[in-house]
Amino acid sequence: MPRIAVVKTGAVLLVSTALLLSGCSKAGEGAPAATRTVAELPGSIDFNDAQLKQVEDEITAALQGKDVSKVRVAMVINNPSAFWTEGQKGMEAAAAKLGVKATFQAPAGGDLNQQLSILDTLRSDKIDGYTLSAVDPSAVKGPVNAALKAGIGVVAIDSALSGTSSPVVYLGTPNTEAGRQAGEAMKKLLGGKGEVAILTGSLTASNAVQRVAGFKKALEGTDIKIVDTLNDDADPAKALSNAQTALQANPGLSGIYTVWSYDGPAAGQAIKAAGKSGSVVVVADDAEPKTVEFVRDGVIQAMILQRPYQQGYMGVYLTTALKVLGQEATEQLLKPFVTEQDGASTLSSGIGLVTKSNLDPYLENLQKLGVSNK
């Protein structure tokens, strides 16, 4: 993943105005939940789309008159969760628009060895470039360095890469800032006090590490205590078990922050089954279909959103540019749009914060892109 970074998180999403969280009343659920009021938070659902459109236009102009019909690129993700459906749609749309060939690769169950095998196969097949969300950034350095040496363009998505033989562009979310915004949302929800657990899919992936760090930073100086940080190793079944464990081991738990996409549905399911909807609030990274459903029902209160569609879409543009224009020319083209975030040159896909109050406009925007969140 060559590192580059655009970070105008000026488009940080909105969250609710005086959102009332209702209690549970279905059979089998516990006592009515406590009522909480969510303060209004500034933002929008623009992400960083306007600036990324400028990047797209710049690349399109630079490619004018050049034959890209033989360009082959790939998108390699870290686990086959619903989060990446949006990214795959973006990849397919960009490939069709540019006229290049693109393939989508997902290691089953987030298996590191399978991801390493995918990367080796892509290099053997002489792919022209690939985007990569690494299962373990340190473990993929070897295959990435081999790809770069072979003239294959690499772009990091979702999670930045460091320590590679040449700069790898990072196209994705500035994760420390995303975590900080999650912490700010949690402070609003809890009024600055309470016990919180963290559910994450990794303790080593840089995106998870940075989000958790940003979340903790936002809680400094409050009376909110983090009582558990539970890792599921990219296993959704274990994520559900961890959510249940957090609730059972901490009777006074008042909030859960979920770091990987499937952790949100796991927390929502465990809370609903325990009859604690609204009394234990959830700030979830990403917008899997079940997370969206839980937001609408008041089980999950806020989503901190990435823009996986743009990670797929712009990833095709960047890898094509690296192949056709070369790394130096591509970096020069991107220079006005990148900033340093989390130690990486980052082209930001933007950050969003969505609650029940602005959920429908967010979903309508997805539909315009041909993405269903059901």
- Tell me which residue of 94, 96, 92, 101 sits closest to 52, measured CA to CA: 94
Other C-beta atoms within 10 Å of 103: how many?
Answer: 15
Instruction: For the domain covering 49-172+307-349, report its CATH number.
Output: 3.40.50.2300
**C-alpha angle 129-320-165 in degrees, rounded to nearest 5:** 45
pLDDT at 9 over 70: no
3-class SS of residue 17: coil
CATH topology of domain 19-45+175-305: Rossmann fold (3.40.50)
Domain regions of the chain by residue span: 19-45+175-305, 49-172+307-349
pLDDT digits (tens, 9 = 90+) for 89-136: 999 999 999 999 999 999 998 899 999 999 999 999 999 999 999 988
Residue 310 and residue 36: Cα distance in Å, rounded? 34
Of residues 13 and 370, more confidence is placed in 370
User: Which residues, 6+ apart, have CB-to-CB distance to 152 below 8 Å?
Assistant: 122, 123, 126, 127, 128, 129, 130
User: Which residues, 6+ apart, have CB-to-CB distance to 237 below 8 Å?
Assistant: none
Please give the share of the chain, as a percent, with pLDDT higher than 90.
Answer: 74
User: What is the side-by-side order of every strand in the sheet holding 129-132?
Assistant: 101-105, 72-76, 129-132, 153-157, 170-172, 344-348, 339-341
Reported as half-sphere exposure (CB side, CA atoms, 13 A), residue 142 has a value of: 7
pLDDT digits (tens, 9 = 90+) for 52-87: 999 999 999 999 999 999 999 999 999 888 889 999
pLDDT at 307 over 80: yes
Check residue 159 and report its DSSP letter. Answer: S
- Tell me which residue of 146, 168, 172 sits closest to 159, measured CA to CA: 172
Joined tokens for residue 344? 């990486």
**If you average pLDDT over every residue of the chain, what do you get?**
88
Work out the pLDDT band at 31, boundaries 50, 70, 90. very low
Token look-up 């402070």 returns: 187
